[in-house]
Amino acid sequence: MARIVVDPLTRIEGHLRIEAQVDGGAISDAWSSGTMFRGLELVVRNRDPREAWYWLQRICSVCTMVHALASVRAVEDALEIEVPDNARLVRNLIAGAQLVQDHVVHFYHLQALDWVDVANALKADPVKTAQIAGSLSEWPKSGASYFRAVQGRVRTLVESGQLSLFTNGYWGHPAYRLPPEVNLLAVSHYLDALEFQRDYIRIHAVLGGKNPHPQTFLVGGMATAMDPDSPQAPINPERLTLIRTLIAMGQQFVHQVYVPDVLAVAGFYPDWFTRGEGVGNFLTYGGYPEKSMRDPSSFFFPGGVVRKRDLSALQPFSPEKVTEYVARSWYEYGDHKPAKHPFEGETKPTYTGPAPPYDYLHVDQKYSWLKAPRYEDGVMELGPLARFAIAYAAGKQPAKGLIDSVLAQIKQPATVLFSTLGRIAARALEAQLVADKMTGWLDELEDNMGRRALAMHNGARWEPDSWPSSCRGFGQHEAPRGSLGHWVEIENGAIRNYQVIAPSTWNAGPRDAMGQHGPYEAALIGHPVADPDRPLELLRTIHSFDPCLACAVQLVDARGRRWQSVEAK
Amino acid sequence: MAATLGLPLSAAAQVAATLEKKRRPVVVWLEFQDCAGNTESMLRSSHPSIAELVLSIVSLEYQETIMAAAGKQAESALDRVVREDSGKYLAIVEGSIPTGEPGYCTIGGRSAMDIAKRVCGSAAATIAVGSCAFDGGPQRSAPNPTGAISVGEAMPNLTLVNMGGCPHNPANTAALLVYYLTYGRLPALDAHRRPLFAYGHIIHDQCERRANYDAGRFVERWDDDGARRGYCLYKMGCKGPQATFNCPVVRWNDGTSWPVESGHGCAACASHRFWDTALPLYQRLPGVPGFGVDVTAGKIGGWMTAGVATALGLHGIASAARSQMRPRGEAPRGGPTEIGRPGGLVEREGPPEKS
The pLDDT tens digits of the residues spanning B144-200 come to 999 999 999 999 999 999 999 999 999 999 999 999 999 999 999 999 999 999 999
User: Does B163 reside within a domain?
Assistant: yes
Residue of B nearest to A116 (CA): B68
Q: Do residues B132 and B181 share a domain?
A: yes
Mean pLDDT computed over every residue of chain B: 83
What burial letters (b/e) apply to A509-522, b meaning 16+ CB within 10 Å? Answer: bbbbeeebbbbbbb
- How many Cβ atoms from other residues are within 10 Å of residue A321's Cβ? 16
Give the nearest partner residue to B267 out of A40, A215, A353, using CB atoms.
A215
DSSP secondary structure letters along B157-190: TS-EEEE-SSS--HHHHHHHHHHHHHHSBPPPB-
Residue (of A65, A49, A99) closest to A220 by Cα position: A49
* Cβ atoms of B58 and B25 closer than 8 Å: yes
| B140 to A44, A548, B148: CA distances (angstroms) | 12, 21, 5
| A97 to A206, A235, A481, B32: CA distances (angstroms) | 12, 17, 14, 28
User: Does B346 reside within a domain?
Assistant: no
User: Does B277 reside within a domain?
Assistant: yes
Which residue, among B57, B222, B235, B246, would best test binding to A if mutated, counting the most A CBs under 10 Å from its CB?
B222
Q: DSSP label at A414? A: G
For chain A, 569 residues long, give each residue's pLDDT as a single digit of tens. Answer: 689 999 999 999 999 999 999 999 999 999 999 999 998 888 999 999 999 999 999 999 888 999 999 999 999 999 999 999 999 999 999 999 999 999 999 999 999 999 999 999 999 999 999 999 999 999 999 999 999 999 999 999 999 999 999 999 999 999 999 999 999 999 999 999 999 999 999 999 999 999 999 999 999 999 999 999 999 999 999 999 999 999 999 999 999 999 999 999 999 999 999 999 999 999 999 999 999 999 999 999 999 999 999 999 999 998 889 888 999 999 888 787 888 876 676 667 899 999 999 999 999 999 999 999 999 999 999 999 999 999 999 999 999 999 999 999 888 888 899 999 999 999 999 999 999 999 999 999 999 999 999 999 999 999 999 999 999 999 999 999 999 999 999 999 999 988 888 999 999 999 999 999 999 999 999 999 999 999 999 999 999 999 999 888 854 443 333 333 333 33
Give the nearest partner residue to A168 out of B74, B228, B261, using CB atoms.
B74
Q: Do residues B215 and B235 share a domain?
A: yes
Query: Is residue B347 very low, low, confident or very high in pLDDT (cuts 50, 70, 90)?
Result: very low
Q: Any residues with CB less than 8 A from the CB of B166 and at least 6 apart, and which?
A: A58, A213, B37, B130, B131, B137, B267, B269, B270, B274
CB contact under 8 A, B223 and A234: no
Q: Which pLDDT score is estimated for A554?
A: 58
> To 5 degrees, how large is the angle CA A128–CA A134–CA A139?
125
Q: Which pLDDT score is estimated for B5?
A: 45
Q: Which pLDDT score is estimated for B10?
A: 56
Query: Is residue B286 very low, low, confident or very high in pLDDT (cuts 50, 70, 90)?
Result: confident
DSSP reduced 3-state for B236? helix
* A551 catalytic residue (yes or no): yes
Cis check: omega of the bond before A357, within 30 degrees of 0 = yes
Bridge partners for A331 per DSSP:
A349
Which stretches within B189-330 are classed as H helix?
196-199, 203-206, 210-214, 225-228, 247-250, 274-277, 293-299, 301-308, 318-324
Q: Does B246 touch chain A (CB under 8 A)?
A: no
* Cβ atoms of B81 and A162 closer than 8 Å: no
Domain assignment of residue B249, given as a range = 196-292
Cα distance between residue A265 and residue A495, in whole Å: 48
Q: Which pLDDT score is estimated for B11?
A: 53
Sign of CA pseudo-dihedral A554, A555, A559, A565:
positive
DSSP secondary structure letters along A322-350: EEEE-TTBSEE-TT--SEE-GGG---EE-
Quick: pLDDT tens for B92-141. 999 999 999 999 999 999 999 999 999 999 999 999 999 999 999 999 99
Cα distance between residue A70 and residue A243, in whole Å: 23
User: Does B280 reside within a domain?
Assistant: yes
A-chain CB neighbours of B111 within 8 Å are 356-357
Which range (A450-459, A482-491, B78-87, B312-321) has the least confidence? Answer: B312-321
**pLDDT exceeds cutoff 70 at B31:** yes
CB contact under 8 A, B58 and A13: no
CB contact under 8 A, B60 and A459: no
Q: Do residues B154 and B260 share a domain?
A: no
Cis check: omega of the bond before A528, within 30 degrees of 0 = no
CB contact under 8 A, B143 and A205: no
**pLDDT exceeds cutoff 70 at B311:** no
Helix, strand, coil % over all residues of chain B, rounded to 5: 40, 15, 45
Rounded to a whole number of angstroms, the distance from the CA of B273 to the nearest CA of chain A is 14
Check if CATH label 1.10.645.10 holds for domain A2-113+197-553. Answer: yes
Q: Any residues with CB less than 8 A from the CB of A149 and at least 6 apart, and which?
A: none
* Cβ atoms of A148 and A111 closer than 8 Å: no
DSSP secondary structure letters along A62-87: TTTTHHHHHHHHHHHHHHT-PPPHHH
Q: Do residues B59 and B156 share a domain?
A: yes
Q: Do residues B206 and B313 share a domain?
A: no
Q: Does B160 touch chain A (CB under 8 A)?
A: no
Domain at B252, CATH number: 4.10.480.10
Query: Is residue B21 very low, low, confident or very high in pLDDT (cuts 50, 70, 90)?
Result: low
User: Does B177 reside within a domain?
Assistant: yes
* A471 catalytic residue (yes or no): no
Q: Which pLDDT score is estimated for A551?
A: 81
**pLDDT exceeds cutoff 70 at B27:** yes
Q: Do residues B168 and B230 share a domain?
A: no
Q: Do residues B225 and B151 share a domain?
A: no
Residue (of A495, A213, A546, A509) closest to A378 by Cα position: A509
A-chain CB neighbours of B260 within 8 Å are 209
| A127 to A124, A135, A154: CA distances (angstroms) | 9, 13, 17
Q: Do residues B240 and B314 share a domain?
A: no
Q: Do residues B154 and B44 share a domain?
A: yes
Q: DSSP label at B296? A: H
Q: Which pLDDT score is estimated for A260?
A: 97
User: Does B338 reside within a domain?
Assistant: no
Q: Which of A71, A489, A517, A551 is catalytic?
A: A551
* A504 catalytic residue (yes or no): yes
Residue of B nearest to A40 (CA): B139
Complex ipTM more than 0.85, yes or no: yes
- Count how many domains chain B has: 2
Give the nearest partner residue to A59 out of B35, B69, B111, using CB atoms.
B35
Q: Does B64 touch chain A (CB under 8 A)?
A: yes
Which stretches within A63-168 are classed as H helix?
66-79, 85-105, 126-136, 144-160
Give the nearest partner residue to A164 out of B60, B106, B251, using CB atoms.
B60
Q: Does B263 touch chain A (CB under 8 A)?
A: yes
Helix (H), strand (E), coil (C) string for A241-274:
HHHHHHHHHHHHHHHHHHHHHHHHHHHCCHHHHC
Cα distance between residue A191 and residue A147, in whole Å: 11
Q: Does B294 touch chain A (CB under 8 A)?
A: no
Bridge partners for A500 per DSSP:
A486
Give the nearest partner residue to B65 out of A11, A160, A221, using CB atoms.
A11
* Cβ atoms of A100 and A200 closer than 8 Å: yes
Bridge partners for A487 per DSSP:
A474, A499
Q: Do residues B58 and B122 share a domain?
A: yes
* C-alpha torsion A247→A251→A253→A255, nearest 10: 180
* Cβ atoms of B198 and B342 closer than 8 Å: no
Q: Which pLDDT score is estimated for A16?
A: 98
Domain at B69, CATH number: 3.40.50.700
Which residue, among B49, B251, B256, B258, would best test binding to A if mutated, counting the most A CBs under 10 Å from its CB?
B256
Rounded to a whole number of angstroms, the distance from the CA of B239 to the nearest CA of chain A is 13
Rounded to a whole number of angstroms, the distance from the CA of B347 to the nearest CA of chain A is 32
Report the first-to-last Cα separation within chain B, whole angstroms: 62
Residue (of B214, B212, B169, B215) closest to B194 by Cα position: B169
Q: Any residues with CB less than 8 A from the CB of A238 and at least 6 apart, and which?
A: A231
Q: Which pLDDT score is estimated for B12?
A: 52
Report the first-to-last Cα separation within chain A, whole angstroms: 49
Which range (A271-275, B202-206, B294-298) has the least confidence? Answer: B294-298
Rounded to a whole number of angstroms, the distance from the CA of B7 to the nearest CA of chain A is 24
Cα distance between residue A152 and residue A150, in whole Å: 5
Q: Do residues B31 and B62 share a domain?
A: yes
Q: Does B328 touch chain A (CB under 8 A)?
A: no
CB contact under 8 A, B35 and A358: no
Residue (of A471, A506, A468, A469) closest to A485 by Cα position: A506
Q: Does B288 touch chain A (CB under 8 A)?
A: no
Q: Any residues with CB less than 8 A from the CB of A289 and at least 6 apart, and which?
A: A88, A92, A295, A298, A299, A300
A314-317, long-range: CB < 8 A, 24+ apart: A314/A390, A314/A393, A314/A394, A316/A568, A317/A283, A317/A284, A317/A285, A317/A286, A317/A568
**pLDDT exceeds cutoff 60 at B82:** yes
A-chain CB neighbours of B280 within 8 Å are 47-48, 51
Give the nearest partner residue to B263 out of A191, A204, A225, using CB atoms.
A225
Give the nearest partner residue to A10 out of B70, B76, B209, using CB atoms.
B70
How many residue contacts between A and B have a Cβ separation below 8 Å? 323
- How many Cβ atoms from other residues are within 10 Å of residue A273's Cβ? 21
* Cβ atoms of B103 and B146 closer than 8 Å: no
Residue (of A509, A539, A543) closest to A527 by Cα position: A539
Cα distance between residue A172 and residue B61, in whole Å: 19
Q: DSSP label at A563? A: P
Q: Do residues B283 and B318 share a domain?
A: no
Q: Which pLDDT score is estimated for A453?
A: 98
Bridge partners for A2 per DSSP:
A22
B-chain CB neighbours of A455 within 8 Å are 223
Q: How many residues does chain A have?
A: 569
Q: Does B60 touch chain A (CB under 8 A)?
A: yes
Residue of B nearest to A55 (CA): B138
